[in-house]
Amino acid sequence: MPRLLPRQERHCHSYPLAVDSFREERVGARPFLWLAVVATLLVPAHVVAVGRGLLLVLGVLVLDLFWLVALALFVSQWRDQRRLGLARVRLDSSSFYLGDRLTLHVCNDRGFGGLSGLVVWLRCIDAVREMRETTVGQDGQRAEEEQQVCYVVWADDRRAPGSDLSRKQISFSFALPTEVELGDPVGAFDARYWEVEVQRIGGASLNFQVLVSRPGGPT
């Protein structure tokens, strides 16, 4: 059965909208070229930072850490794609209505060898405006400002164990909630959207949005 949740705060994402299908984007040379450009800027930054104070040195070291994390992330994605091939998700329709059944089909160009399982999450997210406390100024004063905050208002998941991964394509089906079950947005409402997360256990995840509407119009 679907999980009808109390609101759970979640980081706001801007995932692409999938229409009929979604394909994993290939990790090409561009991110590595950008990392090379950043590296050429970091080298003289180290020279400048020496003798200019501990704070500047720590700032450059933080940039080094971000660079290393980005490099590790892109290398990991590149290796996963070389090992597994690109993943593809096909939807049964370009859009869905509340109360419908949403079915998607997941496959990899080179099969699912190397993965230990698949988990697919479907989440309904409400983006609202709320007053949140924040730090302003160099003196660290606290103040409130309006920010966009996202909440999970409905979620469901489907799982495929490793024993199912011998198939070339695996299908996952969700029963979408009705209008009555889902309810209306709460607060200073911005937008409601539906996101899909395909977790390939042993590989990278895929994230995208699907279009789900009320029978009489958009959610």
Structure confidence by residue, pLDDT tens digits, 86-102? 888 999 999 999 999 99
pLDDT for residue 210: 96
pLDDT tens per residue, range 120-148: 999 999 999 988 877 666 666 777 888 89
pTM for this one? 0.74
Q: What is the pLDDT of residues 176-195, one digit of tens each?
A: 999 888 888 887 888 999 99
Give the model's confidence band at 217: pLDDT under 50 very low, under 70 low, under 90 confident, else very high: low
Would you state the structure tokens that stand for residue 4, as one six-digit string?
């009808």
Termini Cα distance of the chain = 22
The string of pLDDT tens digits covering residues 7-43 is 899 999 889 999 899 988 777 677 778 788 888 888 8
